């Protein structure tokens, strides 16, 4: 549900009225998980726990991408998506706007195990 709520905020009809100062107030080191917390995008504590468990570098990359979209004029809408995967992955792509048409859009795809799935490496003892 985090991504559903984020898609609502960053869609083409709402991104221009999003108060960028909210993210600016978090500071340069803030990650996407920090923004999720600040924007109250979680419905239950387990959602925040799940997104907070992502690798910090990946969350920082997402935060940078979001900030870049908000810094443009006009702002670039963002679509967030999730798909199952073995490890944590993030793919970010951007389509340029075309004069007289849409203004372009960024898509951020999160890939991971299902929430609650144990990572097999984490549950096996390390070799000695």
Q: Where are the domains of the chain?
A: 2-115
Cis previous bond, 74, omega within 30: yes
The residue-averaged pLDDT of 48-53 equals 86
Tell me which residue has tokens 């600016």: 24
Tell me which residue has tokens 């709520």: 5
Question: Percentage of the chain surpassing pLDDT 90?
Answer: 27
pLDDT of residue 107: 97
User: Please, what is the angle between helix 2-9 and helix 45-52, to 10°?
Assistant: 90
Whether pLDDT at 10 is above 80? yes
User: Does an H or E element contain 37, and which?
Assistant: helix 32-38
127 against 50, higher pLDDT = 50
Exposed e or buried b for every residue in 86-105, given b needs 16+ CB within 10 A? eebebeeeeeeeeeeeebeb
């Amino acid at each position: 549900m985090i991504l559903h709520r984020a898609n609502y905020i960053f869609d083409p009809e709402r991104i221009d009225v999003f108060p960028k100062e909210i993210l600016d107030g978090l500071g340069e080191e803030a990650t996407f998980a920090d923004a999720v917390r600040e924007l109250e995008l979680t419905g239950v504590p387990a959602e925040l726990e799940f997104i907070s468990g992502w690798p910090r570098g990946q969350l920082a990359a997402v935060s940078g991408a979001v900030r870049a979209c908000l810094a443009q004029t006009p702002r670039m809408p963002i679509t967030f998506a999730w798909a199952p995967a073995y490890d944590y992955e993030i793919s970010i792509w951007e389509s340029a706007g075309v004069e007289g048409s849409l203004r372009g859009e960024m898509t951020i795809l999160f890939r991971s195990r299902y929430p609650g799935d144990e990572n097999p490496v984490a549950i096996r003892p390390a070799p000695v």
